[in-house]
Every structure is written in C-alpha cells, then in structure tokens.
Amino acid sequence: MVKQVTFRQYGGSLGTTLPKAMTDRLNVGAGDKAYAVETEHGILLTPYDPEFLRTMEAEARISKRYQNALRELAR
C-alpha cells in the first residue's frame, strides 16, 4: 500500500499521520514505537527494531554452527 503523507511542524520537529488502514495492518497504535531507517530509496518506517533483527540473525548463525555443543549444554 502506498499513500502520500504530509509533514507538519510540531514545535521544533516534523511529524506526519498515517492512514488508519495502514496502522491497523501493521498492528500499531498510539504510544507504540517505530523505527525510522534511512535507506538508499528513502525512509523506511518499521515497528521492528533493526538491531534486534541483526541480533537474531547472529543467534541463528551461532546456533547452527554450535548446535551439537548447545544440545550437550542443554542436558
């Protein structure tokens, strides 16, 4: 879904509103946090923490590499 939004001045910052259909699909509401990630194509606004994603990817690599040792430690 692509929607045009307008930035407005809020004190010393800029802000915008998102369409309800978009926030419903993303399951976000008032008070929730989102992450603005600058990409080569513009701004990516996501409810997912990119640092957490990198951490989970690293965990998956480590778990796969050391699966036998982790299995033994779990006993």
pLDDT above 80 for 71: yes
- Give CA–CA dist 38/35, Å, rounded: 10
Predicted confidence at residue 35, as pLDDT, reads: 84
- The predicted-structure confidence for 8-50, as pLDDT tens digits, reads as follows 999 999 999 999 999 898 888 899 988 888 889 998 888 777 7
Instruction: List strand residue ranges (DSSP E) for the chain, in order.
Output: 8-10, 13-15, 35-39, 42-46
Give this prediction's pTM: 0.52
pLDDT above 80 for 67: yes
Predicted confidence at residue 70, as pLDDT, reads: 86
